[in-house]
């Protein structure tokens, strides 16, 4: 097996319950894998098990650069960013160099080694600041810089952008993408956000209920759900069974590709239902429609005048502009 991190027959148990079961996974050096899953799917459990950081009962093999991973080997290779930035007392600079200090480097050497990362992540003006006085966004930026400065061969990112405002998140995402490019690091990003996976990862694995349901290139995985569970995770929240569409397989569609037919002269063969409610969301209008096979959500981007919409309870037609077929 090539350089990078992976596992075989990985299982994690806690309280007599199996939290995770992953037969095989490998992330090569220089590549980023996004592990996408809903809350409670076992994403952080997987990340911690791979980093030999788990407090649960773990069985199976963790493989680091083709060899069975031991704690000393992993210590030399690993850096992680957790969901909450956990910084130590002291300055931002003290925090950024702490990974290098743990690896035995002198303070002076560590500062020299870390400086390019401080510049790359735009922390020059904060180096002398007390880490406890930082905003959550600044603290997470320090946490990410600290992990990168340690020069890890394996970088584990546990939802590092959750809890950040959208501007901070977008900036940090771009800076991290730029920092990772060209680095010989095997990176695993745990997230529930598709945009983060798209921005950072070449490959994506979908984790639901402790099991990897899909794994492949990010573009392919994000746009080709294989079952109802992965479809929901990927935003294909409208499920259209064969009884509703007359097709051989169930179709799934995103709300933004599902729209109410507002022109009565348009007589295309559409899905029929009853209008349950309409909600103005500012830049879009959400329309919920009940059909014989369940509820559908339509999202009309831009302004839709209230007068254009039929009254609640009336019979309506819904058009699916783009759908994927579930074959399993």
Partner 1 sequence: MDVLFDGLVDAIGLLLSGDRDTWSIIALTLRVSLTATAIAILIGLPLGALVALARFPGRRIVLAAANTGMGMPPVVVGLFVTVLLWRSGPLGGLGLLYTPTAMIIAQSAIATPVVVALVAAALQQVDPDFRVQMRALGATPVRAFAALLGEARLPLLAGAMAAFGAVVSEVGAAQMVGGNLAGQTRVLTTAAVLATSQGQFSLSIAFGLILLLIAFGVNLSLTLVQQRRTVPR
Give residues in contact with partner 1 (CB under 8 A): 48, 51, 53, 75-76, 78-80, 82, 84, 86, 88-91, 98-99, 102-103, 128-133, 146-147, 150, 156
Q: How far is CA 201 from CA 158, 198, 284, 293, in A?
A: 14, 6, 29, 36
CB of 139 or CB of 251, closer to partner 1: 139
In the complex, minimum distance from the CB of residue 104 to partner 1, in angstroms, rounded to a whole number = 9
C-beta of 53 vs 309, nearer to partner 1: 53
CB of 20 to partner 1, least distance (A): 17
What is the nearest approach in angstroms of partner 1 to the Cβ of residue 61? Answer: 20
By C-beta, is 134 or 231 nearer to partner 1?
A: 134
For the CB of residue 82, give the shortest distance to partner 1 in the complex, in Å. 6
How does 135-174 read in b/e, with b if 16+ C-beta sit within 10 Å? eebbbbbbbbbbbbbbbbbbbbbbbbbeebeeebbeebbe
Which CB atom, from 127 or from 293, has the smaller least distance to partner 1?
A: 127
Residue 278 corresponds to which tokens in the numbers above? Answer: 């309409």
Q: CA 241 to CA 243: how far, in whole Å?
A: 5
Written as one string, the DSSP assignment of 268-311 is: ---EEEEEEEEEE-SSEEEEEEEETTEEEEEEEES---GGGSPP
Which strand (E) or helix (H) includes residue 148? helix 136-149
Q: Are 36 and 197 in contact (CB under 8 A)?
A: yes
Nearer to partner 1, 130 or 303 (CB): 130
Smaller CB separation from partner 1, 11 or 48 = 48
Nearer to partner 1, 48 or 213 (CB): 48
Q: Which two tokens stand for residue 6?
A: 């992976």
Find out whether 164 and 140 touch, Cβ atoms under 8 Å: yes
CA distance 156 to 186: 8
| Cβ 139 to partner 1 shortest distance, Å | 12
Minimal distance in Å, beta carbon 75 to partner 1?
A: 5
Shortest separation between residue 183's beta carbon and partner 1, angstroms: 17
CB of 150 to partner 1, least distance (A): 6
CA distance 105 to 145: 17
DSSP 69-112: --HHHHHHHEEEE-SS----SSBHHHHHTHHHHHTT--HHHHHH
How far are the Cα atoms of 154, 259, 266 from residue 317, in angstroms, in the given order?
Answer: 51, 9, 10
Which is closer to partner 1, CB of 114 or CB of 233?
Answer: 114
**Quick one: angle between helices 136-149 and 107-120, nearest 10?**
120
Number of H helices, E strands in the chain: 11, 18
Nearest to partner 1 of 99, 255 (CB atom): 99
> What is the nearest approach in angstroms of partner 1 to the Cβ of residue 28?
21
């Amino acid at each position: 097996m090539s350089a990078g991190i992976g596992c075989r027959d990985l299982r994690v148990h806690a309280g007599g319950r199996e939290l995770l079961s992953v037969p095989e996974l490998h992330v090569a050096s220089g590549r980023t894998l996004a592990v996408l899953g809903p809350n409670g799917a076992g994403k952080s459990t997987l990340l911690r098990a791979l980093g030999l950081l788990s407090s649960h009962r773990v069985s199976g093999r963790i493989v680091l650069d083709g060899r069975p991973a031991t704690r000393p080997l992993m210590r030399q290779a690993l850096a992680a960013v957790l969901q909450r930035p956990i910084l130590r007392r002291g300055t931002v600079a003290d925090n950024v160099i702490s990974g290098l200090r743990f690896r035995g480097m002198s303070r002076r050497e560590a500062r020299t080694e870390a400086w390019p990362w401080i510049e790359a992540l735009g922390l020059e003006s904060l180096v002398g600041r007390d880490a406890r006085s930082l905003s959550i966004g600044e603290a997470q930026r320090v946490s990410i810089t600290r992990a990168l400065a340690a020069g890890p061969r394996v970088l584990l990112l546990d939802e590092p952008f959750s809890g950040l405002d959208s501007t901070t998140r977008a900036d940090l995402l771009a800076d991290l993408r730029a920092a990772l490019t060209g680095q010989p690091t095997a990176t695993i990003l745990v997230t529930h956000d598709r945009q983060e996976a798209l921005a950072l990862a070449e490959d994506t694995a979908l984790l639901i209920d402790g099991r990897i349901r899909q794994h492949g290139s990010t573009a392919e995985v994000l746009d080709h759900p294989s079952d109802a569970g992965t479809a929901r995770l990927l935003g294909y929240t409208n499920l259209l069974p064969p009884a509703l569409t007359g097709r051989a397989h169930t179709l799934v569609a995103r709300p933004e590709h599902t729209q109410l037919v507002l022109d009565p002269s348009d007589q295309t063969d559409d899905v029929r239902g009853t209008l349950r409610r309409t909600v103005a969301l500012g830049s879009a209008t959400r329309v919920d429609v009940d059909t014989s096979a369940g509820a559908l959500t339509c999202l009309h981007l831009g302004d839709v005048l209230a007068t254009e919409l039929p009254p609640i309870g009336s019979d309506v037609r819904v058009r699916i502009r783009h759908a994927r077929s579930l074959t399993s």
